[in-house]
């Protein structure tokens, strides 16, 4: 199947619609600096596989921070909320793709692991919200993207056939989830995703930039 044959589209947000992954990667550094603590050079690598709760516990153990982990997570979220409100940009070229799909009357939906208020703020600020019929988050679905439920819910709301519904993802693990469940998979390069070869192998279409969309 080619991109011309799709009848519905489901978009990830971070690293796909928004150029935001770098902000998440450096969140640990930003948090420590906000507390007048010096982060190690390899902090992003240390935190890469951790959840926010795990990162909070790591900081408590490593730096002796007395705050409760839940309070620290709120501080993490406040820092990121500021970026979604002010300076996280849309990915270059994505608006033209959304315009193309809209002109072809292909309905679009968002499936994201990020909290709804952050995403809504950024999409409203950038003007991208107008292209989408709605949004489902992992928190609302009750599963992360290693489970296809979030994509299934989005497709049901679009009312499209699974095999003709394209999922747009930059994360290789999430792309695998959607592809194995029978969705048409469009992989989009993001500099912060290390598993590019896996993403290429998984995707039906792989884009180095959004300008490659046809």
What local confidence, expressed as pLDDT, does residue 4 receive? 66
How far apart (Å, rounded) are the C-alpha atoms in residues 191 and 80? 19
Assigned token pair, 12: 């990830």
Band (pLDDT 50/70/90 cuts) for residue 3 is low
Query: Which of helix, strand or coil describes residue 211?
Result: helix
pTM of the model as a whole: 0.91
Per-residue pLDDT tens for 6-62?
999 999 999 999 999 999 999 999 999 999 999 999 998 888 778 888 999 999 999
Q: How does the average pLDDT of the chain come out, rounded?
A: 95
Summarize pLDDT for 145-200 with one digit per residue, the tens. Answer: 999 999 999 999 999 999 999 999 999 999 999 999 999 999 999 999 999 999 99
Last residue of a domain, one of 86, 110, 142: 86
Q: What is the largest CA-CA distance in the chain?
A: 56
- Looking at the structure, tell me whether residues 194 and 111 fall in a common domain: yes
Q: 97-152, pLDDT tens digit by residue?
A: 999 999 999 999 999 999 999 999 999 999 999 999 999 999 899 999 999 999 99
Burial class of residue 37 in the structure, from the number of CB atoms within 10 Å of its CB (0-12 exposed, 13-18 middle, 19+ buried): middle
Q: Which residue has the tokens 């994509």?
A: 151
Name the residue among 203, 201, 212, 4 with its Cα closest to residue 101.
Answer: 4
Task: Looking at the structure, tell me whether residues 104 and 201 fall in a common domain.
Answer: yes
Among 204, 172, 167, which residue's Cα sits nearest to residue 12? 167
Same domain, 64 and 164: no
Q: Looking at the 3D structure of the chain, how many domains does it have? A: 2
Residues 49-77 have a mean pLDDT of 93
Per-residue confidence band for 1, with pLDDT thresholds at 50, 70 and 90:
low
Contact (CB, 8 A) for 39 and 137: no
Same domain for 82 and 178, yes or no, is: no
Q: What pLDDT sits at residue 91?
A: 98
Q: Given 60, 86, 112, which residue is the final one in a domain? A: 86
Same domain, 117 and 178: yes
Q: What is the pLDDT of residue 2?
A: 58
Question: Rounded to whole angstroms, how far apart are CA atoms 93 and 148?
Answer: 27
Q: Which domain holds residue 73?
A: 22-86
Residue 182 token pair: 């029978």
């Amino acid at each position: 199947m080619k991109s011309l044959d799709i009848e519905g589209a489901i978009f990830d947000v971070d690293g796909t619609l928004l150029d935001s992954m770098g902000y998440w990667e450096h969140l640990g550094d930003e948090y420590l600096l906000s507390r007048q603590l010096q982060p190690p050079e390899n902090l992003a690598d240390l935190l890469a596989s951790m959840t926010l709760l795990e990162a909070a516990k790591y900081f408590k153990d490593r730096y002796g921070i007395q705050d409760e982990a839940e309070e620290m997570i709120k501080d993490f979220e406040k820092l990121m909320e500021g970026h979604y409100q002010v300076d996280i940009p849309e990915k270059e070229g994505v608006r033209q793709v959304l315009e193309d799909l809209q002109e072809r009357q292909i309905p679009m939906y968002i499936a994201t692991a990020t909290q709804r208020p952050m995403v809504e703020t950024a999409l409203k600020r950038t003007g991208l919200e107008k292209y989408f019929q709605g949004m489902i988050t992992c928190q609302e679905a009750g599963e992360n993207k290693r489970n296809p439920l979030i994509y299934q819910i989005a497709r049901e709301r679009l009312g499209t056939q699974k095999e003709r519904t394209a999922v747009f993802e930059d994360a290789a693990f999430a792309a695998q989830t959607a592809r194995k469940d029978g969705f048409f998979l469009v992989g989009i390069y993001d500099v912060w995703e290390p598993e590019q070869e896996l993403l290429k192998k998984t995707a039906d279409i792989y884009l180095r930039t959004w300008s490659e969309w046809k």
